[in-house]
Chains A and B, each alone.
Chain A
Amino acid sequence: MKNIWQSVLLLSVLAILALFALGLHNDPHEIPSPLVNRPAPDFATQALDGQPIRLADYRGKWVLLNFWGSWCVSCVAEHPYLMELARNTRQRSDFVIVGVDFKDTEQGAAQFLARHGNPGYRHAFDPGQKIAIDWGVYGAPESYLIDPTGMIRLKQTGPLYPGWFEKMALPLIQATPPSHQGESR
């Protein structure tokens, strides 16, 4: 009887230590997003090209929403991949990339795109980061993958990396039947 209690005590102490060791590897800067698998918050604002832009207009397609700013260093690192991804997915009718340039100036954004290359897709302009806060963004870059029905399916905190689309997005896109995708078009 006594031995049982001793091993129970030992096991619980070990379990607590194991949890503690696991917790030490958590990044306190990374906040898990509760928005995944929730309907995407819509926005309607001005785009960097001066025309109005509305997220709901892309309903029916998979949308990669990329939050960035010309002040963001990691966005420079991410940019070549976004250029490549935009080039490679240009033919897809079911996938589109939309940028949100937040906490930025129009000149800053223009300079960034002139210097690092313009991937060709549209960017919502969000100087007061109202959209960013509405999307639970706390850093840059952050990206969301939204499915054709307008549900958020994935969040990437930090830069997208080469192979991200094939590894993270494509399995989701392929797992969703195309008939379902066309529903809300």
Chain B
Amino acid sequence: MRYQYVLSLFLLLSLLGSPPLAASNRNEDPSEALVRKIARDLRCAVCQNQSVYESNSDLAKDMLVVIRDKVQAGETETAIRDYFFQRYGDYIYLEPTAEGKNKILWWAPFLGLLIGVIALWRAILHWRTPTSRDNTAAESTPLSPEMAQRIRRDLEKTEV
């Protein structure tokens, strides 16, 4: 009975020690990691929202071959990204870059926030200070005798 426990524990430990099946890319070419990184950030030109690396389309597969050739020829990541940008425009970047017209998208929310803060600040100032209109209204139209009389009458009627 006891040796069964020992055996099962041993089996369990040996399972933990073995690498997962998916990690079979350990004897791949070291440059493949860079290929993967570049391909994950580029949009496959015939798919709407899939990277070159994930897509199964023929174009994406051939783009992957082009990336691999360029990596193996020693080109840098920026150079390869730029190569595709020159040909397909900024559509090719899965993550929009903060350049050119895209800057509007990046900065507009902060600009909106700033405008909002300024507007709120002005509104608070406006609420806290008595407006000039209230003052002038009080000064320019003195109480008419009838109105004064009416107020006095109403006050007398009111039980405090």
A-to-B contact residues, CB < 8 Å: 28-29, 31-35, 38, 103, 128-130, 133-136, 138-139
Contacts and interface: CB of A to CB of B under 8 A. Distances in A.
B120 interface: no
Contact of B88 (A28, A29, A136): A136
Contact of A133 (B63, B89, B91): B63
A18 B80 CA distance: 37
A153 B46 CA distance: 23
In this complex, the interface size class of chain B, counting residues with CB under 8 Å from chain A, is: 10 to 19
B62 A128 contact: yes
Nearest to B46: A138
Given A34-B86, A133-B66, A134-B87, 14 more contacts: A28-B48, A31-B91, A32-B89, A33-B89, A34-B88, A35-B87, A38-B86, A129-B59, A129-B62, A133-B63, A133-B87, A136-B86, A136-B87, A138-B45
Contacts of A32: 89
Interface of B is mostly: helix
B114 interface: no
Contacts of A103: 58, 62
A10 B66 CA distance: 50
Nearest to A102: B62
Interface in B84-118: 85-89, 91
A139 B46 contact: yes
A32 B46 CA distance: 13
Contacts of A136: 45, 86-89
B148 interface: no
A148 to B, nearest CB: 22
A130 B68 CA distance: 12
A136 to B, nearest CB: 3
Given A31-B45, A138-B46, A139-B46, A130 B66 contact: yes
Nearest to A134: B87
Contacts of A133: 59, 62-63, 66, 87
A139 B65 CA distance: 18
Contacts of A35: 86-87
Interface string B45-59: 110100000000011
Given A31-B89, A32-B89, A34-B86, A128 B46 contact: no
Nearest to B57: A138
Interface string B69-95: 000000000000000011111010000
Nearest to B43: A31
Nearest to A71: B58
Interface in B12-63: 45-46, 48, 58-59, 62-63
Contacts of B63: 133
A139 B46 CA distance: 8
B87 A128 contact: no
Contacts of B89: 31-34, 136
A138 B47 CA distance: 10
A84 B66 CA distance: 36
